[in-house]
């Protein structure tokens, strides 16, 4: 299945973590089932070629990742002010292939209901299973924002000591880019920030890249990476065993509950933008 979604083809997608590329100086990647060759030039920039045709694709390095556009870029890479704040660590937690649609990964990331069952003892635990009502909106910039998301978490962060009630804010920027802002116990007015840049390898395969922007106070880089991998590796087998592997966009395909409010809007938003790659389109 080839990707025909203009909104995806004309957008920027991460295809490599710069740190990984520096270790090897060249690597291959796959985007929309097309093979790419990525080379690190001597001046530190990257060159991305379409393997079959040899065509050089538009690429940029930003946030420590190589971004590429296989079509004609119609907009810029998203702006993330948190990545430029000096009092934050900005680290990649490592890129992980997942045998599932990247849209499924976005939806799982937006879901609080699974915390006590998949991240038991870390991001949730029984009997604190209820997802309290939260707010969801579509912004004038065409992003999805979910706010007032509260959840009790036994170990909410790499350096947490004891359970706390955590506040989340979720944000979907693009079909394959999603982030969250999360309570930092040391700062009542600021939040830690995590974003997933998902590389659609195929309709049922993706690579999940991520950038973690944690406030430095009381934190250290190895623990940030450890925690991200601990949590993500708990999600991975669940994602890979979810069926169907593509995200169904028909409202009747799967039965949502109140806690899925943000996922319902996400699916509708994907329908409205005619995103079908990685999805089962509505009938």
Using CB under 8 A as the criterion, which residues of the chain lie in contact with another protein when the complex forms?
17, 19-20, 23, 28, 92, 94-97, 222-223, 225-226, 229-234, 236-237, 240
CA pair distance 12, 77, nearest whole angstrom: 6
| Residue among 4 and 26 whose Cβ is closer to another protein | 26
> CA of 187: how far to CAs of 57, 113, 163, 167, 269, in Å?
42, 26, 16, 12, 33
Question: Which residues face 204 on adjacent strands?
Answer: none
Torsion of Cα atoms, 115 then 120 then 124 then 129, to 10°:
70
Nearer to another protein, 192 or 235 (CB): 235
CA proximity to 47, closest of 15, 78, 23, 74: 15
Closer residue to another protein in complex, CB, 176/232: 232
Q: ∠28-210-70 over CA atoms, to 5°?
A: 45
Count of H helices and E strands in the chain? 6, 17
For residues 26 and 258, which CB has a smaller minimum distance to another protein in the complex?
26
Least distance CB 112 / another protein (angstroms):
19
d(CA 231, CA 118): 9
CA distance 139 to 215: 26
Residues belonging to the chain: 283
Nearer to another protein, 154 or 175 (CB): 154
CB of 64 to another protein, least distance (A): 11
At its nearest, how many Å lie between another protein and the CB of residue 257? 23
| In the complex, least distance from residue 148 CB atom to another protein, rounded to whole angstroms | 29
Supply 90's token pair: 């900005």
The neighbouring-strand residues paired with 135 are: 147
Distance between CA atoms of residues 278 and 32, nearest Å: 10
To another protein, the closest distance from the beta carbon of 230 in angstroms equals: 5
Query: What is the phi-psi region of residue 40: left when phi exceeds 0, alpha when psi lies from -120 to 50, beta otherwise?
Result: beta
State which residue, 17 or 192, has the beta carbon closest to another protein. 17
Whole-number minimum distance, CB 94 to another protein, in Å? 4
Element (H, E) at 89: strand 88-92
Least distance from another protein to the Cβ atom of residue 138, Å: 34
Q: Which is nearer to another protein, 74 or 220 (CB)?
A: 220
């Amino acid at each position: 299945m080839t990707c025909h979604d203009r909104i995806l083809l004309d957008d920027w997608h991460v295809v490599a973590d710069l740190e990984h590329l520096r270790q090897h100086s060249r690597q291959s990647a796959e985007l929309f089932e097309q093979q790419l060759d990525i080379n690190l030039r001597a001046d530190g920039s990257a060159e991305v070629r379409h393997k079959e045709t040899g065509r050089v694709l538009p690429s940029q390095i930003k946030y420590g990742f190589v971004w590429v556009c296989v079509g004609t870029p119609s907009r810029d890479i998203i702006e993330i002010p948190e990545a430029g704040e000096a009092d934050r660590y900005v680290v990649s937690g490592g890129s992980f292939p997942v045998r599932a649609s990247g849209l499924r990964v976005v939806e799982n990331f937006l879901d609080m209901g699974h915390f006590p069952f998949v991240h038991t003892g870390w991001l949730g635990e029984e009997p604190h299973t209820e997802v309290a009502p939260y707010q969801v909106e579509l912004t004038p910039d065409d992003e999805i924002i979910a706010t007032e998301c509260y959840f009790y978490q036994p170990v909410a962060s790499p350096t947490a000591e004891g359970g706390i009630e955590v506040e989340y804010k979720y944000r979907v920027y693009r079909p394959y880019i999603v982030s969250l802002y999360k309570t930092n116990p040391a700062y009542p007015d600021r939040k830690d920030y995590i974003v997933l840049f998902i590389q659609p390898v195929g309709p049922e395969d993706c690579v999940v890249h991520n950038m973690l922007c944690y406030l430095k106070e009381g934190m250290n880089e190895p623990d940030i990476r450890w925690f991200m991998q601990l949590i993500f590796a708990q999600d991975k087998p669940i994602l890979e065993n979810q069926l169907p592997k593509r995200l169904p966009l028909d409202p009747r395909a799967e039965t949502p509950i109140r806690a899925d409010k943000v996922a319902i809007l996400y699916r509708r938003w994907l329908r409205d933008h005619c995103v079908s790659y990685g999805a089962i389109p509505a009938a």
